[in-house]
Structure 1
Amino acid sequence: MASNSDQAASSSRKSGKARPTAGNFQRKTDNPHEEDGHITEIEISSSSESDDDVDDLAKAINNLQLRRTGKDYTLYEIKNPKAGAPSVTDKWPVAHSASLDGSPVKSLLKREKERHGRAMAYVAFRASEPGVYGKWEDCKQRTSGQSGSVYEGYMTLAAAEAAYAFAVEKHLTAVTGQSIRARPIRATTYHPPSKHRISSGSPIQAGSTRISWYSVYVGVKPGVYASYAEAAPNVIGIEGACYESWESKEDAVDAYMERVGAGKIGTVILRV
């Protein structure tokens, strides 16, 4: 539960046929324990399917060779894909690219996230007033309605204070507003990185109620990060930024290295 949002599942029925669950990444909840911290800068559009569409989609899902057999994956449906492109994928970068090209994208199958304990304290890393808060209501007041807000729940006050101190030391905190200011981009290069940034963990992750690893595929400093608070400076306000959250470091590294092998890691160079 690192920050704003993830997927809300919903389903409908017509003529007795079950429709796949669909989600909108911009959902907000009052209960932070239902958040997993993955926010996206691409709006997921909704659409209605005919019965034939549902049948075709079910076949596509059944035929798709999933790279994950565990719970930590999501499927995405791409409407009107380009010739030769998939209509269903489990790879967010593929869906992200299609969305940038104008194809409506929906999430299918709600991603399951494990909670490691009850939050006894909260850290607002990027908020109207960054800091450590003992009550969710106080943290919510500083993060709700704030674009690009980042917060985390911790099982102890000591863990929250250690995480915030580390974030301050590493310049990971920021005062936010109601809108994200776009950061001017000079160029995005897709040369293979000379060095891969792979985090081994951090105090921000320690004691958190939700453990998530982040693969940054296109951003200021691509790599694998141990928390959204550490990944956020590389993607927030960056047009075309692409990243993904995972429960395990292994999955995050595998997904990142897959994009490295495909030559799809983009380093964003900002205008000074």
Structure 2
Amino acid sequence: PASTTPRSTQVSPGRNVYVVFIGRKAGVYTEWADCRAQVSAVKHNSYKSFGTLAKGQAAFAAAHARGLTFSCGSATLNVGRVVERYPMMPDDLPLCLAFIDDDTSTAMAAADHIWYVVFAGTQPGVYRTYHEAALATTGLNGAKQRSYMTRVEAEGAFKQALYAAEVHRLV
């Protein structure tokens, strides 16, 4: 679905809005109980709270536009198995950093977020959100990710691993 209609369009000050990126029904929820019902007992679920309805809706819309939302209906999201491991080369660096500053990553990330590096996954690279990194690694044998406090640390670790031939695309 493109969106889930919240119970109301008004959110009391100080209350969070919840975005379900992966769950029974992906969408924006104004009540924790509604969000919990979409992710409870759903393996590989992903959700995040936002301080305002506008921020939550913007994050969901951006994630949905980039194909980062999934409604699985059941308790399990089907994830792929690894068939091949392809080493990434230094020439692949622009591709691996392509999503750092895109509108989706920026909308989904909190201001004080930590950084995530996928060293082995479906799309190795540096990411602003756990959700993006998890989508590139969940359910894959040999997947590897790590978090860093700053962008400089994350990019440095990724570049070092890339030049040491320790970064792999799993397909």
Per the shorter chain, which TM-score range? 0.7 to 0.9
Q: Which amino acid aligns with 1:133?
A: Y
Q: Which amino acid aligns with 2:107?
A: P
Q: In the alignment, which residue of structure 2 is the partner of 1:69?
A: none
Larger helix fraction of residues: 2
Q: Which amino acid aligns with 1:130?
A: A
Q: What is the CA–CA distance in structure 2 between the aligned matches of 1:130 and 1:210, rounded to whole Å?
A: 25
Q: In the alignment, which residue of structure 2 is the partner of 1:231?
A: 133
Q: What is the CA–CA distance in structure 2 between the aligned matches of 1:214 and 1:119, rounded to whole Å?
A: 27
Aligned length: 150
Give the C-alpha shift of residue 180 in structure 1: 4.6
Q: In the alignment, which residue of structure 2 is the partner of 1:132?
A: 28
Q: Which amino acid aligns with 1:172?
A: L
- Choose which of 198, 202, 227 in structure 1 pairs with 2:106: 202
Question: CA-atom RMSD, angstroms?
Answer: 2.0
Alpha-carbon spacing, 1:246–1:238, altered in 2? closer, same or farther (3 Å): same
Q: Which amino acid aligns with 1:184?
A: R
Alpha-carbon spacing, 1:142–1:120, altered in 2? closer, same or farther (3 Å): same
Q: In the alignment, which residue of structure 2 is the partner of 1:174?
A: 70
Q: What is the CA–CA distance in structure 2 between the aligned matches of 1:226 and 1:248, rounded to whole Å?
A: 10
Q: What is the CA–CA distance in structure 1 between the aligned matches of 2:15 and 2:155, rounded to whole Å?
A: 28
Query: Whose radius of gyration is greater, 1 or 2?
Result: 1
1:186-225 map, 5 Å: 186-196=83-93, 197-198=96-97, 199-200=100-101, 201-205=105-109, 208=110, 211-225=113-127
Q: Does 1:255 align with 2:157?
A: yes
Q: What is the CA–CA distance in structure 2 between the aligned matches of 1:191 and 1:214, rounded to whole Å?
A: 18
Q: What is the CA–CA distance in structure 1 between the aligned matches of 2:69 and 2:165, rounded to whole Å?
A: 32
Q: In the alignment, which residue of structure 2 is the partner of 1:30?
A: none
Q: What is the CA–CA distance in structure 1 between the aligned matches of 2:151 and 2:63, rounded to whole Å?
A: 20
Give the C-alpha shift of residue 237 in structure 1: 2.3
Q: What is the CA–CA distance in structure 1 between the aligned matches of 2:148 and 2:71, rounded to whole Å?
A: 27
TM-score using structure 1 length: 0.51
Q: Secondary structure at the match of 2:61?
A: helix
Q: Structure 2 stretches of 5 or more lacking a match?
A: 1-13
Alpha-carbon spacing, 1:251–1:135, altered in 2? closer, same or farther (3 Å): farther
The CA deviation string for residues 206-255 of structure 1, in whole angstroms up to 9 with x for no partner, is: xx386232100001110001112322332122221111223322222122
Give the C-alpha shift of residue 193 in structure 1: 4.5
Q: In the alignment, which residue of structure 2 is the partner of 1:143?
A: 39
Q: What is the CA–CA distance in structure 2 between the aligned matches of 1:191 and 1:203, rounded to whole Å?
A: 28
Alpha-carbon spacing, 1:204–1:182, altered in 2? closer, same or farther (3 Å): closer
The CA deviation string for residues 29-80 of structure 1, in whole angstroms up to 9 with x for no partner, is: xxxxxxxxxxxxxxxxxxxxxxxxxxxxxxxxxxxxxxxxxxxxxxxxxxxx
Alpha-carbon spacing, 1:172–1:184, altered in 2? closer, same or farther (3 Å): same
Q: In the alignment, which residue of structure 1 is the partner of 2:3?
A: none
TM-score using structure 2 length: 0.78
Taking only the aligned residue pairs, the percentage that are identical comes to 27
Q: What is the CA–CA distance in structure 1 between the aligned matches of 2:154 and 2:84, rounded to whole Å?
A: 26
CA contact (8 A) 1:212 1:245 kept: yes
Alpha-carbon spacing, 1:153–1:189, altered in 2? closer, same or farther (3 Å): same
Q: Secondary structure at the match of 1:202?
A: helix
Q: What is the CA–CA distance in structure 2 between the aligned matches of 1:119 and 1:242, rounded to whole Å?
A: 35
